[in-house]
Amino acid sequence: MFLPLEVLKPKPFGGRAMDEAIQELLSEIRELYLADGIPWCVGYSGGKDSTLTLQLVWMALAGLPVEQRTKLVYVISTDTLVENPVVAAWANRSLEAMRTAAATQQMPIEPHRLTPELEDTFWVNLIGRGYAAPRPKFRWCTERVKIRPSNKFILNVASQHGQVILVLGIRKAESTTRRRTMERHEKGRVRDRLSPHGSLPGSLVYSPVEAWTTDEVWMALMQYPNSWGFSNHDLLAMYRGASEDSECPLVVDTSTPSCGDSRMGCWTCTMVEQDKSLKAMVTNDEELEWMRPLLALRDALDIEDDRHLRDFRRMNGTLMIHRDRLVHGPTPRPPAKTGCVASWRHRPGFAPTAPSTSATSPSSRLTSCT
C-alpha cells in the first residue's frame, strides 16, 4: 500500500523571520546606493512586485541621514494609454502621492509618468496604419507603447551620467522563461547583484526581490505600511477583484496559491485568449460595470483572419500579389521583393475583381514589385 506523498512548500524567507530578511535586504540596498554616484531608475507599474521593490528602496533611503541622500532615484511608470483603466488610475494617483511624500520626507525620489509618442500609440497603428490586432508573430504593440518610452528615458539618463542602474521588481518565480533569462544575465554580473542589461548600453540591473515568492511579496506588503501613503491593503483588494474567484488566501494556507498571479495589462491585448482580470473586475464589482464595453471591443478586435474586412488597395493605391493571392491592405510599408509578383496603380473608382499579371486595362497601370 502506497501512501500519497505530501508536497511541502518551502518555508517563507528560508525559515528566517520576515523582519530579519527584510532588514538584511535594506542594508544591501543602502550599501549599493552609497557605493557610487550612478543614478537609479526604479520601474513602477502599480503592481505588487514593483510596489514592494520601490517600497524597499524608499525604506532603505529613509534609514540614511538626509545628507547622504544625494543620489537621484527616478521612478518611471509607463502608461501605454490602453492600460486597464483601474490600474492606470491607481498608478497615476500613486505617482502624485510619491511626489508629495518625497518632498515632505526629503527623499531624492523623482516620479515620472511616461507615454508613447503619438505615432507609436496603439490606436494610431491599429486604425491609422491599418495594422492587424497584435499576434504572437506580429507583436507590434509592446515595442512601441511600452519599451520605447522607458528606453528613451533610461538612455537619456545614461547619456547624462555615463551609467544608470535599473531597479526592477522582476522575480525568478514569475515564470520559467523569466528565471532562465535572469540566470543567463547573472553570469555576466560585473558587481555583486548588478547584471548588465541585455539591450541598453550603460545600464545595469538590480533586482532586490529576485528570489522572493509571491506569498513572500504579499506578506511584506501587508506587514509594512506603504512609504508614500498609499494603502497596500487597497492594492490587495484590487488584485482580489481581478481574480476569478474573488479570493486571496495568501498565507492562511501555505498549500494554496495567493491571488498574486492576477495579470492586469492592456485592455486591448489580443495576445491572450481573454482578458481574465478585466472580466473578473467587471463580474466582481458592479461599480465597474462601465468597463464591460471595453471587453466587447477587445473581443471584436480579436479576429483570427480579418482579410474579409480589409480593402485590397494599399495606402499608396497599389495592389500586390503574393503567392498567387491578393494581399489585403492597408499598410504603409513598401512590398517586399521576395515573392512579389506585381502591383497595380489604379485610378479612383477602379476595383479589379480578378487581377492577373497580364492585365493591360487602360484603367490600371502594371508596375514591377522589384
If pLDDT is split at 50, 70 and 90, which confidence band does 350 have? very low
In contact, 133 and 270? CB cutoff 8 Å: yes
Q: Please report, for residues 67, 182, 272, the alpha-carbon distance to residue 106 in angstroms, rounded to integers and kept in the order given.
A: 10, 34, 43
- Least trusted range by pLDDT, from 90-99, 107-116, 207-216: 207-216
Q: Identify the pLDDT of residue 363.
A: 39
Please choose, from the candidates 138, 142, 192, the residue with its C-alpha nearest in 3D space to the C-alpha of residue 165.
192
Q: Which three cell numbers stand for residue 188?
A: 555576466
> Above 60 in pLDDT, residue 120?
yes
Kindly state the average pLDDT of the residues 134-158. 92
> Above 50 in pLDDT, residue 98?
yes
Kindly state the average pLDDT of the residues 255-276. 69
Q: Identify the pLDDT of residue 180.
A: 78
Kindly state the average pLDDT of the residues 247-273. 57
Q: Identify the pLDDT of residue 80.
A: 94
Q: Which residue has the higher pLDDT, 172 or 256?
A: 172
Give me the sign of the Cα torsion angle 150, 151, 154, 160.
negative
Kindly state the average pLDDT of the residues 59-64. 97
Q: Identify the pLDDT of residue 7.
A: 56
Q: Identify the pLDDT of residue 232.
A: 94
Please choose, from the candidates 211, 205, 174, the residue with its C-alpha nearest in 3D space to the C-alpha of residue 189.
205
> Above 60 in pLDDT, residue 332?
no
* Cell 495576445 belongs to residue: 271
Counting every residue, how long is the chain? Answer: 370
Q: Which three cell numbers stand for residue 312?
A: 485590397
Q: Which three cell numbers stand for residue 182?
A: 535572469
Q: Which residue has the higher pLDDT, 147 or 355?
A: 147
Which letter does DSSP use for residue 83 in this model? B
In contact, 104 and 64? CB cutoff 8 Å: no
If pLDDT is split at 50, 70 and 90, which confidence band does 359 have? very low
Q: Identify the pLDDT of residue 243.
A: 74
- Give the DSSP per-residue string, 207-247: -TTTT--HHHHHHHHHHS--TTS--HHHHHHHHHHTSTT--
Kindly state the average pLDDT of the residues 99-117. 97
Kindly state the average pLDDT of the residues 271-292. 89
Indicate the average pLDDT of the chain: 81
* Cell 511616461 belongs to residue: 114
In contact, 41 and 50? CB cutoff 8 Å: no
> Above 70 in pLDDT, residue 204?
yes
- Least trusted range by pLDDT, from 49-63, 244-258, 266-280: 244-258
Q: Which residue has the higher pLDDT, 359 or 226?
A: 226
- Least trusted range by pLDDT, from 49-58, 76-85, 128-137, 222-231: 128-137
What is the identity of the amino acid at 362? P
Kindly state the average pLDDT of the residues 261-275. 80
Q: Which residue has the higher pLDDT, 269 or 359?
A: 269
Report if pTM > 0.85: no
What is the identity of the amino acid at 229? G
CA 218 to chain centre: 20
pLDDT digits (tens, 9 = 90+) for 156-172: 999 999 999 999 998 88
What is the identity of the amino acid at 226? N
Q: Identify the pLDDT of residue 190.
A: 63
> Environment class of residue 130 by beta-carbon count within 10 Å: exposed (0-12), middle (13-18) or buried (19+)?
middle
> Above 60 in pLDDT, residue 262?
no
